[in-house]
Amino acid sequence: MRAVRFHGAGDLRMEELPLPVPKAGEVRIRPLAVGVCGTDIHIFRGEFSSACPVVLGHEIAGTVDAVTSGVKGIREGDLVTVQPNTFCGVCRYCRLGREHLCLEMRAHGVHMDGGFAEALVAGAKAVYRLPAGLDARVGCFAEPLACALHGMDRLAVSSGSTVLVIGAGPVGLMLARLSCLAGAGLVAVSEPIAERRKAAYSFGASLVADPGAEGWRESLMEATAGQGFDSVIDAVGGATTFEQAVSLAARGGKVLVFGVAPPDAPAAIRPYDVFSRELTVIGTLINPYTHERAVMILPQIGLEKLSIEVLPLAQLREALDSQASGRAAIKIQIRPQA
């Protein structure tokens, strides 16, 4: 089979590899659509650690083409998505039911081969059937949507409250839509790219601001009568956006750090602001026990409205560059079978 493997920072190679053979309890999947994620970009740049060599790609939708003994509820030909993370099961966090904090967590597309290949093997426990007839380009959003659901669980948006989402990339748009579904009274979005600002309205935002425009902060504060937002979500991941999130939170407000910043990026936050305004800063990591819910709620999110550019496997490097720039389609995906 053909696969693109990561061999180190900036080093991607198209290779011919043996077709993987599933063991008992595993299935083999032919990926049809695989999303390019910020994590893939960080790994490619050498900013995140990973196995090497490894096939990247963890936002996967594809068809099952081999099923082994012991597998229940999955058949050849099923359209499926993959929950990419596996856990040791014996560390303190696993034994407390918090596997996503596992000290030995491993993931397809990071430590194990992922979806930027013509086939991959995954444990059946990590494979979820998608609704029949669902477009694979929508199906591969199940993984980031599962992460967004965990973030929303942590944030616990109240009905009638105010929410600001910083960043209208794919996940920012999902978080805006989920805030609406949770009953937020006002959902605002801050986004510098015009196409993404337009998309934010279609995902339920009632106010959209351009952080590069004069008076953008004032317009957001005015919408809350100068009080700030009950919940602020940094869906970008960076020092500047985190600082903005803290500054725009209301007294007693919550700040959700969803976007993944480079590990060594510092932010300038005054502890007195957290103290005097009684702010809560919340982290959120991956998708513990939310993948099934993501599959169920996919049809309600409206992801088919996104502008999606689909590229063949041979153009993975170009896909990473396009997704990182934010200036092309809102989402870049790879079609490994093309």
Do 161 and 185 touch, CB atoms closer than 8 A?
yes
CA–CA gap between residue 145 and residue 161 (Å, rounded): 22
Packing angle, helices 38-45 and 316-325, rounded to 10: 110
Helix (H) or strand (E) holding 192: none
Catalytic residues: 39, 42
Least Cα distance to 146 among 159, 160, 128 occurs for: 128
Cα-flanking dihedrals φ and ψ of residue 160, to 5°? 80, 0
CB atoms within 10 A of CB 168: 29
| DSSP string of 238-299, one letter each residue | SHHHHHHHHHHEEEEEEEEE-S---TT------HHHHHHTT-EEEE--S-TT-HHHHHHHHH
Cα-flanking dihedrals φ and ψ of residue 275, to 5°? -65, -55
Cα-flanking dihedrals φ and ψ of residue 179, to 5°? -65, -40
CA–CA gap between residue 57 and residue 113 (Å, rounded): 8
Do 136 and 32 touch, CB atoms closer than 8 A?
yes
- Give the tokens for residue 160: 């009638």
